[in-house]
Chain A
Amino acid sequence: MDIDTTRRNLLKGILAIPVLGALAAAVSPLMRFLKPTIKPLNYLQGGDLPRSAVPVEIDLSLLPNAFDSQAFTFTQINKEYTAIGTQTKDIPGYAVKLPNGEFAVYSRICPHLGCVFNYVPSPDDVAKGYNYRPEGPVFACPCHLSVFDIQQEGKVVSGPAPRPPRKFVYTVENNRLRITDLESGGVA
């Protein structure tokens, strides 16, 4: 490549910046082509949130004792920028009975980078595999070794996760656990 070393050429080159900027401004509404859910001229709009589909019901006779757990899947409808427009997605979850009679109902999708974590009832197993010895049963993610204490509202007790896992909204009716919604965030 041979460009003459003149100021004229450099100035021409620098002129490219405002020209490209103007072009980018003119073309920017086309960002809506890649993300059609953005309202016109509303570039600072947040992400699209999934919608909950059918509630899940769990019979409480499946959880008689403290620290009994039940895995379930919760269906959500996600936006998809294709001709179809939506996509149903199964979110894996855990319901665990706590010693005080409450329930810990969490999405199994790790808030760190989206792996699916496990319920590990034995502190020995956690100590072996996750560099941490907890007090009782915990949720533990095998990918990056985050450990969440179910008795402290899912507090991160070890590992890189920035926050507790996402909670499900639930009610207890007629001896059944009815799960209706999920706290938003993360990538499913």
Chain B
Amino acid sequence: MIELVKKSTKTLIDKILAMINGIDIFDEHYADKAQTNPWYTLGSLVWLFWVITMVTGCLLMAIYIPSISEAYDSIVKIQDVIPFGALMRGVHKYGADAVIIAATIRLYRIFICADYKPNRELNVAIGLVTLLFGMYSGLTGYLLIWNQRAFWATKVFATFPTYLEQFYILGPTHIGVNTSQILLGGSSIGQATMTRFYGFHIAFSLLALIAVELYFYRNGLKRFNMPWKMAILPTAMVVFAAIALPAQIGHRADPSVTPLPILSDWYFLALYQFLKYIEPVWATALTVLIPLTVVILPFLDLGPETKIFRRPIFFMVVIMGFIEFVAFSTLIIMNIANIHTDPPIWRGGTWFLIAIGVIWQYILQKTEKPEKMPVMVGDFIAYVICPLFVMFWAFPSLLNGFLTVKDQLIGTGICMVPTVIAYTWHLLIRKKMIVEVTPAQ
């Protein structure tokens, strides 16, 4: 028994250390792969666009006035009067968009190519943090224009944490309302909000850049995993976009008129549609749970398989994420929503796509390795019955606004049961069978 504890502790320690050694921030360990496979240059592109955005941002600071009465006029002046102002602002805006696009595609690549195997699971978390940093900088950045879109998007963003007040343990700590008021710098949106957002917009990027540069320097890694002359093309792309599609300014913020439809920058649009569909408390909880799920997913992908079509569950999760992002964004832009009939379709669709993946995985395994009857039956329960069971319970009950602790626990518990059965089965019984079967061959 003690032997076993010792052994498993050692395995865990080795695993953690191996994961720390496997950290990769901007694809700097894929220099060889990047020679032949352009998808592995995405990390370097994130870094390049980030630096472009920082440089143009520092230049814009020379002209911009961070005050709620002057900000909008100073942006108009930068855009229309200051020589090269429109170019600088355009490159800053499209550079930031490019950071988010590149970081998103990179995250998809990590999932599709299984770059988190072996022992690189932390890289998913790092890729996600890069993306979230980009999105936070975007959010703090577009408030600085002080236009309608910025004002109302900030209001929605700041009202979000206040729903933590309705949770059981977190509520009495007032963490939600305090978070909201610290973000806004007061009990309403005003000058303090702009000052804070301006400060954080610069500080977060600057501190992160210093940390990343130190990391590259200490470990003697290359920042850019392709020839430097290749940096011309992405830079030219951003400059071209800035000239061809001048960055928009919108209308001056008006606290008494809500624009219709209320929109944010493009990367938050899907989340906005999602807000229409579900109760705000669940929306707040799920907004936190989605990134957590992304971090946990690679730990659930067991086995050495790296080809995407041999990992159908993960393939379907990737497809589901992509479809919902595109569909929700399109729907909110076109202002289509039926809040009574749509949510069950989306909820059902989500579970349906994942269930397809699970059943596909089952078929794949059975056709390739015909096994003994007990294994067949157990796997059939884990991979076919359980997903159907989850679907059955998840359709009508999950996310339908359980608010008491009891209901929350029951709802979550019911949906966890099949998942736990499936993975216990997978981990314990299947592994045991494989160990027993292999020596005989």
Contact = CB atoms under 8 A, between A and B. Distances in A.
Interface of A: 1-3, 5, 7, 9-10, 31, 34-35, 38, 43-50, 73, 76, 78-82, 84, 87, 89-90, 92, 112-117, 131-132, 142-145, 158-162, 186-188
Contact of A35 (B162, B178, B279, B283): B178
A3 B190 contact: no
Given A82-B191, A145-B276, A46 B174 contact: yes
A20 to B, nearest CB: 16
A172 B389 CA distance: 59
Interface stretch (B317-325, B333-341, B390-398): B333-341
B65 interface: no
Nearest to A47: B177
Contacts of B17: 3, 5, 9-10
Given A87-B186, A143-B262, A158-B339, A113 B275 contact: yes
Contact of A142 (B162, B195, B258): B258
* A interface, over-half SS: loop
Given A80-B191, A187-B188, A1 B23 contact: yes
Given A113-B275, A160-B280, 16 more contacts: A5-B21, A38-B178, A44-B173, A47-B162, A73-B256, A79-B186, A89-B255, A114-B155, A115-B152, A116-B256, A131-B339, A142-B260, A160-B278, A162-B280, A187-B159, A188-B188
15 contacts: A1-B21, A2-B219, A3-B21, A9-B17, A47-B162, A78-B187, A79-B187, A81-B192, A82-B195, A113-B160, A115-B156, A142-B260, A160-B276, A160-B280, A162-B163
Nearest to B186: A80
A143 B259 CA distance: 8
Given A10-B13, A82-B191, A187 B162 contact: yes
Given A80-B192, A90-B255, A143-B262, A187 B275 contact: no
Contact of A50 (B16, B187, B262, B340): B187
Contacts of B20: 1, 3
A52 to B, nearest CB: 13
Contact of A116 (B166, B258, B276): B258
Interface string B154-192: 011011101100100000111001101110111111111
B140 to A, nearest CB: 15
A37 to B, nearest CB: 8
Nearest to B277: A160
Contacts of A2: 21, 219
A187 B191 contact: no
Contacts of A159: 339
A107 to B, nearest CB: 12
Contact of A145 (B172, B186, B280, B339): B339
